[in-house]
């Protein structure tokens, strides 16, 4: 079945450092790809998405490019802030035969940014 694999955490960075969180997927079709973020004490929020190959999703300085050839959707940010400390989840949604939009998540990566 479809699956998502994320790099293990936690990731600890200093403020203004460059961030990469790796995400690869396995899917039988052509899924849409998402990054969700969960800030401490808050619910899951959509950070960005991409719906087809070579699309780049971006939001709040974060970017991810849908790479079909490497089945990847790595999250990047050029300069992280303390406020970016959170758990990040990569996810996919495959049309399949039902088009429910249900999400398949990776295990999550905890990011801690130190001042």
Partner 1 sequence: GAGVSQSPSNKVTEKGKDVELRCDPISGHTALYWYRQSLGQGLEFLIYFQGNSAPDKSGLPSDRFSAERTGGSVSTLTIQRTQQEDSAVYLCASSYSGGISYEQYFGPGTRLTVT
Give me the residues that bind partner 1 (CB under 8 A), please.
31-32, 42-46, 51, 89, 91, 93, 95, 98-108
| 17 or 59: CB nearest partner 1 | 59
C-alpha–C-alpha distance, residues 26 and 55, integer Å: 18
Tell the smallest beta-carbon distance from residue 14 to partner 1 (Å).
Answer: 28
| 47 or 80: CB nearest partner 1 | 47
Tell the smallest beta-carbon distance from residue 44 to partner 1 (Å).
Answer: 4
C-beta neighbour count of 52 within 10 angstroms: 11
| 59 or 71: CB nearest partner 1 | 59
Tell the smallest beta-carbon distance from residue 92 to partner 1 (Å).
Answer: 9
């Amino acid at each position: 079945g479809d699956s998502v694999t994320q790099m293990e955490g936690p990731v600890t960075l200093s403020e203004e450092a460059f961030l990469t969180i790796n995400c690869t997927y396995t899917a039988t079709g052509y899924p849409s790809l998402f990054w969700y973020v969960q800030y401490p004490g808050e619910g899951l929020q959509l950070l960005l998405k991409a719906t087809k190959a070579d699309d780049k999703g971006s939001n709040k300085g974060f970017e991810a490019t849908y790479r079909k050839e490497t089945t990847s959707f790595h999250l990047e940010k050029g300069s992280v802030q303390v406020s970016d400390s959170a758990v990040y989840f990569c996810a996919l949604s495959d049309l399949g035969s039902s088009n429910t939009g249900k999400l398949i998540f990776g295990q999550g990566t905890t990011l801690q940014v130190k001042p």
